Structure 1
Amino acid sequence: MAAGSDAVLERMMTLHPKIIDLTLDRMHRLLAALDHPERRLPPVIHIAGTNGKGSTQAMIRAGLEAGGAKVHAYTSPHLARFHERIRLAGELISEPALTALLDECVAANGGESITFFEITTAAAFLAFARTPADWTLLEVGLGGRLDATNVVDQPRLTIITPVSIDHQQYLGETLPEIAGEKAGILKRGVPVIIGPQAPEGLEVIEARAARLGAPVLAFGQHWHCFEDRGRMVFQDENGLLDLPLPNLPGPHQIQNAGAALAALRHLGADEAACEAAVTRAFWPARMQRLRTGPLAESAPQVELWLDGGHNPAGGEAVAATLARMPARETHLICGMLNTKDVAGYMRPLAAHAVHLHAVEIPGEKNTLPAEVTRDAARAAGLPADTAASVAAALSDIAAGNPQARVLICGSLYLAGQVLRENG
């Protein structure tokens, strides 16, 4: 990648002492200086939730694009390069366009304090406002109520994917508190699609929707989705859809697909668009099979997978996916951040693997020491050792069993490193 945007992004990291500082004041100030691009976006679909936001967004985009629509999409974090966060009318933003937008936002900010996520979100809004499209898909960065994306007064639709415990240091210790933060994206009179929720989380979201007069389309009440004989069945008030299983692997993708289909049906999409949503979506590092690249080629007979899930619900989703795969000796290569519930992530995985190699995430200051990850795995009943790198761990596993299944997991940051190194 050219040095242009990298240099500006590096500079943006220094504009605020904290990476995360939840408030909307700085965002409103910068957007005013940029002449309010957030008011000129194509119709917005705003997505919050703990797990499944990115997959749900990818499926909605696949469905809308199959119907001929041009779609902007904003997502975070990126895996291999920053450009992945901003998709303009279907295409990743170009390097010259990104550099120019970032420079413009830095100039408009005038040296004031602002976080990296806030100023880059403003740049995305600027790009979306200037490029014609039919839809804007916005994925919340963290929480919802005070997230930098939560500045659009009248989205066309809001979506809340499953809410679980994560980011307690910012969002609250209990599920109802966290659900309240996510429900902060609801707007007066704007319909909300609610994915499967724990009862205490659902109660909070529905109470807020009622206060705002926001029509609710909730899983288990207004729409249903389930697997039946190797197909996916979706049902709402418009009738029943009999579809192929989602091409994104794992049983949890059925519920993500359900939320995407509920959204598409609400917007009037036809059956072909709904089928495209489940069969054409691509979302890297969500149980992604790595078949090519230097890492895959270093152990050609190993069945190599990559997943970026990093909280207890992510661990459960990965465990459920492994449970459905054909029997094969399974090893984990795991690196995590020190802000995550490592024990909660490990517990569901222990039954589905024979061994774990713990690694540190290269270049990541918040990486958990490999020894801590190893000890957490052992405490969960999973034999574990440390390794100097993903490549070293893979080589060790392949030497013992060239046909093992290997899952690299534990963090989106680790997944991004792997995708960069694997080309």
Structure 2
Amino acid sequence: MNSETVLSNAQIVMPDCVIKGTVCLHDGKIKAVDEGHSQLPSVVDLDGDYLIAGLIELHTDNLEKHFSPRPTVSWPAMPAIFAHDAAVASAGITTVFNAVATGDVIQGSSRIQRFRHMTEAVRQAHASDLTRAEHLLHIRCEVTYEPTLENFTSIVDDPLVKLVSVMDHSPGQRQFADINKYREYYQGKYKLSDEEMEAQIQRQTETSLRLGRHHRAAIAEMCRERGLSLASHDDATIEHVEEAVADGMSIAEFPTTVGAANASRHHGLHVLMGAPNVVRGFSHSGNVSARELAQQGLLDTLSSDYVPNSLLHAAFVLAQHIDHIQLPEAVAMVNLNPADAAGLHDRGSIAVDKRADLIRVRCVDDVPVVRQVWRQGTRVV
């Protein structure tokens, strides 16, 4: 932290341009950014690779995969989080908001059983200072789940909670406006019989009507009182967006239609979409393409969601395939913009006095490869 590191001969991706130059790091921050090659004997020569501010991931379910690597397997908490940490750091993510759910569409699912184990593991990892990336908490509130408010109340004052989202995965609306997609997804995921699936659809529809609005309003009020960033999830209609605005939300997380994304932008909400959607070119749920939103100028931020290395890849895909998006603008969608959305104004871009969270990237056949990572000036990958 107290030593000085000089990174030179780099293509430095700034918020509005790319320059060939040198970045000096000192005491965990960026001390200087200059054009040209440094002649200092201790310089780290980046051989013309890109130098990019560390990526900021606002919504990833990747930690769950490591807690349960197989449907019937539970993995020890700390080994799970360290494996997850290695995956996100090697993908260039230096700040990660781990999505932890207070509820689920299936009563008593393994996701709920892991809720407290996962939050405690993130706390322990943060306290140990042994992780490569900085780990924070994103609390996902499934409003149709009976105990979701109780679970949320138990975690909301944890200082690692920096982002909250509210969601309703009921059939026939939002992400699953096509009820057949709902059947396909949940019947496949939980191995439900046709009879069990129909009972699930009826139960979720009823609980959404009975609990959804009450839970949503209570959670939104608690977030406003604490100044927490709040996201609406899977908005599909203008009415959904207007509800989000009335609840004081600032982020539109995975809007499912062009109309919802356009309304979100009109009301000043920050539009977030999935990086896997960009890389694949379409949504796995049959909803709007993130590339289409980018083409229309309706995309602010990307999230790796369920594939950590998709985050950087998607930024380069946008720069390569969307004519009006240049590399600095695309890269801002994975560092500067998410930092601003989450209120983390000390990071997210290469500028003097910002945190020295940086990644070295080389393109191989148009695919970005992370070669080195620094967090607060210390090399971690």
Q: TM-score, normalised by structure 2?
A: 0.28
Normalized per residue, the structure richer in helix is 1
Q: Give the number of the structure with larger relative contact order, counting CA–CA contacts within 8 Å between residues 6 or more apart.
A: 2
Normalized per residue, the structure richer in strand is 2
